[in-house]
């Protein structure tokens, strides 16, 4: 199995690259942010609870998030592995993910791929996206800078844990989309 933790700040091209990895290696993507948004849209109990945190820009408590993730990992799939997107975000979640992948899939996290893009380029890309996406959080430079700062503060400890395990790989996220995909593919080929 190939189990990838995909890291990347807002604007790093993570969505596009996740899509290319899924197609290339037949993976299933699990995005905790998407799962919360789905639950909020359908007004489920979980959605209502998550909304009270997400609206404040806070993390949803670990237990609720992890339970939701387990349900998703347990669903039958013919994929060759998973891309975890937006999880883990804390040291506790990192340990939980290791446990879940072992217990449910009898496997392990293969690699943590981290897309690296200079802050100034991220701001530029997001402001440009904001012109057409209609996302209010993409149209204000101050909010954009805060989201980027938030990302680094939250993920630093998770990155450190994967570094200690020798599973952390940084990829330059600036350049042609295909060129970046090829670099990611090469890293996945190494662990196949």
According to the annotation, is 125 in a ligand binding site? no
Q: Among residues 93 and 110, whose Cβ is nearest to ligand AMP?
A: 93
Structure tokens that stand for 47 in this block = 């959605």
In whole angstroms, the minimum distance from the beta carbon of 118 to ligand AMP comes to 20
| Neighbour order of strands in the sheet with 111-116 | 27-31, 81-85, 2-7, 111-116, 168-172
84 contacts ligand AMP (rule: CB under 6 A): no
Q: Among residues 55 and 131, whose Cβ is nearest to ligand AMP?
A: 55
CA quadruple 157, 162, 166, 167: dihedral positive or negative? negative
Q: Measured between alpha carbons, how far is 191 from 188 in angstroms, rounded to an integer?
A: 5
Q: Among residues 54 and 123, whose Cβ is nearest to ligand AMP?
A: 54
Q: Measured between alpha carbons, how far is 113 from 140 in angstroms, rounded to an integer?
A: 28
CA quadruple 139, 142, 147, 151: dihedral positive or negative? positive
Of 13, 17, 21, 89, the residue at the interface with ligand AMP (CB under 6 A) is: 89
Q: Among residues 25 and 87, whose Cβ is nearest to ligand AMP?
A: 87
DSSP state of 6: E
- Which residue ranges make up the site for ligand AMP (CB under 6 A)? 32-33, 36, 53-54, 58-60, 65, 86-87, 89, 93
Which residues carry a binding-site annotation?
11-16, 32, 37, 58-60, 86-89, 93, 129, 135, 147, 175
């Amino acid at each position: 199995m190939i189990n990838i933790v995909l890291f990347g700040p807002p604007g790093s091209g993570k969505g596009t690259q996740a899509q290319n990895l899924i197609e290339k290696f037949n993976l299933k993507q699990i995005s905790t942010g998407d799962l919360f948004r789905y639950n909020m849209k359908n007004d489920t109990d979980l959605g209502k609870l998550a909304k009270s945190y997400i609206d404040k820009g806070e993390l949803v408590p670990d237990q609720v998030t992890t339970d939701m993730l387990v349900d998703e990992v347990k669903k039958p799939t013919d994929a060759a592995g998973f891309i975890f997107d937006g999880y883990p975000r804390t040291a506790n979640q990192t340990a939980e993910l290791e446990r879940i992948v072992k217990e449910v899939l009898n496997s392990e996290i293969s690699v943590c791929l981290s897309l690296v893009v200079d802050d100034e380029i991220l701001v530029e890309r997001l402001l440009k996206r904001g012109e057409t996406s209609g996302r209010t959080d993409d149209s204000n430079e101050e909010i954009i800078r805060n989201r980027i700062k938030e990302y680094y503060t939250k993920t630093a400890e998770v990155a450190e844990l994967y570094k200690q395990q020798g599973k952390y790989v940084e990829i330059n996220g600036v350049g042609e989309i295909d060129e970046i995909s090829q670099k990611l593919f090469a890293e996945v080929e190494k662990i196949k």
